[in-house]
Amino acid sequence: MKLSCTAVSSPSITAPRSLEKSQPAKHRAAPPRPQAIDTFTPATPSKNTKGYNLTNRGGKVLTAPEFQPIYVGSYWRTPAGTADRAYNDAFAKELVTSNHQAILAQYGVGKGSTADSVMVKGASPKTFTHDDVVALVKQQIALGTVKDGPQTVHMVVLPPGTVLVDGNADSTQGLGGFHGSYVDAAGKSVYFGVVVTSDQTNGIQFDSNPRDNLSIIESHEFDEAATDPDVENGKLAWYNNKYGEIGDLAVNSGLVPLEQAYGKDSGGYAVQAEWSNKDGKFLIGK
C-alpha cells in the first residue's frame, strides 16, 4: 500500500505516521473476500495477542522477487546523484540477500535478486503520478531497457524535489511511495513501486540522511510487493484486516514509535521494521 506520513517531527510521536497516505479507491486493498477464507493459511503459530498478525488471503507471494531500480530525472546524472545512485544500487543488492530478507522468508517469499538499475532520460519532473509510473514501466519494457520478468519489482526512484501524486494524496503531505501492479497485454501482472527522495518538505524524513529515507521507503514497498504483489489487481496475499500490508503496521499504523520503526540491517543499510508472525514482534533483520 501507499506509504505516507502525516506527523513527522515530534520524537514522542502520538499521531501515527503513515508512509502511504489515505488511499484512493483504486489503491485501497479490497476487503477480504469470503471465498478467500477457505484458503486462509495460518502463519507459524504465535500468540498474536496484539492482533498484528498477517494472514494469507490466498493471493500470490513472490518466490523469486527481482528488485530493479529505475531512476527518473536528471539529478541522477549529477556527481551527487551518481554517488547516491551507486549507494542505492548497493542497497538494493544487499536488501535481497540480507537478514532482512529472512523476515520475508517467514511468509514464503523466496530468494531475491536484483536486475541492473536503469536511468531514464530526461529532466526531473515536477510531479509524478500513478499513471506516470505505469506509463514509464510500460515504456521501458517496450524499449527493452528493463526486465520483464514475472517477478520483477520495478522500483521507480524519483529525484529530489519531484512530488509524487496519487489521487488526493501527495508527497508534500507525507506520501512516501506506493506499490502496485498492472496487467499487460499478454495477461501477465507487472509489478512496480515508486519512492520519493525525501527532504523536509517532500516525502518522509525518518532521519536526516536522504539515503536512509530512500532505503527505508524502498524496503517498505519491496517487502509489500513481495508479500502482497497483487493488491491492486487480484487476490490479497499477506494482509492484516485492520492495519494493512506488512509494511503498514510499523509505519502507516504507527504501532511503534517512529524511532523503532526502522533501523540498520545486517549490511548497515536503513530499512523498515516489519512484523514477524513467527516471532511475535517487529524485526529489522540485523
Segment 201 to 230, residues that bind Zn ion, using CB under 5 A:
224
Region of 17-25, 28-36, 62-70, 148-156 interacting with Zn ion (CB under 5 A): 17-25
**Beta-sheet pairing, 262-264 with 270-272:** antiparallel
Among 4, 5, 18, 20, which residue sits at the site for Zn ion (rule: CB under 5 A)?
Answer: 20
- Closest contact distance (angstroms) between CB of 153 and Zn ion is 14
Region of 146-154, 184-192, 210-218, 247-255 interacting with Zn ion (CB under 5 A): 247-255
Q: Does 1 bind Zn ion (CB under 5 A)?
A: yes
91: nearest Cα among 67, 107, 65, 122: 67
Q: Which is nearer to Zn ion, 140 or 277 (CB)?
A: 277
Segment 123 to 152, residues that bind Zn ion, using CB under 5 A:
none
Q: Which is nearer to Zn ion, 120 or 214 (CB)?
A: 214
Q: Which is nearer to Zn ion, 212 or 245 (CB)?
A: 245
- Closest contact distance (angstroms) between CB of 61 and Zn ion is 16
Q: Does 247 bind Zn ion (CB under 5 A)?
A: yes
Give the residue at shortest CB distance from Zn ion: 1
Q: Which is nearer to Zn ion, 166 or 224 (CB)?
A: 224
Among 218, 230, 232, 248, which residue sits at the site for Zn ion (rule: CB under 5 A)?
Answer: 248
Amino acid (one-letter) located at 16: P
Q: Which is nearer to Zn ion, 163 or 204 (CB)?
A: 204
Contact 66, 112 (CB under 8 A): yes
Q: How many residues bind Zn ion (CB under 5 A)?
A: 7
Region of 18-26, 143-151, 189-197, 253-261 interacting with Zn ion (CB under 5 A): 18-26
- Closest contact distance (angstroms) between CB of 116 and Zn ion is 26
Name the grid cell of 26. Answer: 483504486
Which residues here bind Zn ion, judged by CB under 5 A?
1, 3, 20, 224, 245, 247-248
